[in-house]
Structure 1
Amino acid sequence: MRSTALHTVRFAMEQGREVFAVPGSIHNPLVKGCHQLIKEGAKLVESAEDIIKELQIYMF
């Protein structure tokens, strides 16, 4: 919850950058930071398609 990576991601969110997060098991305490980011506005990612749709990237 206090890692440098999470601090960097929160800073990116404050700057209006797109932030994506892949959730983990609710039983794993190591993913609490990722879940918190989703609560704070990071986009939930379950597949690469989620990112493509969010960024409006079309594969030809």
Structure 2
Amino acid sequence: MARPSRKNMDADTPSARDQLLDATGILMTEQRTIDISLAEIAERSNLNSALVKYYFGSKNGLL
């Protein structure tokens, strides 16, 4: 399956990396802690938790 080119992507659609960062920020704010799980981040972002390792190397890299 071919990956869509950047010019075909909707300009208003955040990248998966941005979705993970946004979801993490929202969860930390709501829970008032940095102790959140990858499962919570994945659920909030509607993405697979393996993408954290892909984009950031680890949960610590994301934080």
> What TM-score do the two structures reach when normalised by structure 2?
0.29
> What TM-score do the two structures reach when normalised by structure 1?
0.30
Higher-strand-fraction structure: 1
